[in-house]
Copies of this chain bind each other. A is one copy, B any other.
C-alpha cells in the first residue's frame, strides 16, 4: 500500500493558534499538525507598532515560515499544492487582508478567497474572507468556515449556531444556508478580566467548578441580564458577608452570570428559531447553561465542523 499523496492542505489560522490538515484526493485527512504561531504572534502589535509584517514573498515572511514549519513535510516535491486558509490570517494584521463578505451571505467559497504569492513555489495559498454585518456592526473570521461545515452536512439547516469562546458568536441561518445575522458577546474575555484583574479576584479561587453555583449564576444572569454589572459586584459582597475565603462557588457564579446574560441577549428574538447548535470546546458548559433555562440544543464537534467547512470550500 502506498502512502497517499497530499492533494491539498486546509488551515484554520486563528489569533493564537494554527491547525493544518493534509487531505488526499478523496478529501480524507492524511496528516494533521498544530502550532501556537497564531496571527497575533506573527503580526505587528496594534495599533501603532512600527514593526511591519513582511508581506512580500520572501523566505523570511513570518507567515510563510510558520506555515512551512507545519506543512513542508507534506508537500509533494515537484508540484504546487493548494493551501486553503481561514481565520485571522486574513485580517489586516494578518498575512494579507481578505476583505469581509457582508451579510446576508452564504459562507464564503474558494472563488471569494484571495491568492497570496509565496516564495516557495510548491505553495499556492488562498485566504478566505470573514463575514461582516453593517448594522449592528459585527465581524467574524473563521467561524463562518465551521458554519459552512455544518451546512455541508445539513444543507437544510435553519436556526441559531452558538460558537462560545473569548468572543462568543451567535449566527442565525435561514433557508438556503444563508447567514442573516451575527452577534458577538465578549463573555470569555470579560470572564478572564474579571477573574484575574478586577476586585472579584479577591473572591474567586484560581480554578475549579461548582455546578450548583454555575447553574444559579446562569439563572440570575439570564433573568436579570439588565442588572449584570450589579450582579457581578454581588459576588464580592456575598463573599464578604459570608466571611468566606476566595472560593470556587464565586468563580463558577461569575462564569454563570456572564453566560446567562449572553443567553438572555442571544435568545431575545428567537421566535423563528427551531434549532440551536453549539460548536466549540466550551459546548459542554453552554449545554448545561441552556439546559438550566430549559432550551434544547445539540452539539457539533469543532474540529469536524472546521474540516467539513474547508472541504466544502475546496469542492466549490
Contacts and interface: CB of A to CB of B under 8 A. Distances in A.
A206 to B, nearest CB: 11
Given A134-B241, A241-B139, A265-B229, A186 B167 contact: no
Is the interface on chain A under 10, 10 to 19, 20 to 34, or 35 or more residues?
Answer: 35 or more
Interface string A186-229: 11011001100111001000000000000000000000011111
Interface in A212-262: 225-234, 236-238, 240-241, 245-246, 258, 261-262
Contact of A262 (B229, B234, B241, B258): B229
A99 to B, nearest CB: 10
Given A47-B246, A229-B186, A229-B190, A234 B137 contact: yes
A189 B183 contact: no
A170 to B, nearest CB: 9
B139 A265 contact: no
Contact of A237 (B138, B231, B261): B138
Nearest to A193: B193
Interface in A163-185: 167, 183-185
Q: Which of A100, A233, A238, A261 has the most CB atoms of chain B within a 10 A radius of its CB?
A: A233
B132 A241 contact: yes
Contacts of A245: 47
Contacts of A246: 47
Contacts of A198: 186, 189-190, 193
Interface of A: 46-47, 92, 100, 132-134, 136-139, 167, 183-187, 189-190, 193-194, 197-199, 202, 225-234, 236-238, 240-241, 245-246, 258, 261-262, 264-265, 268
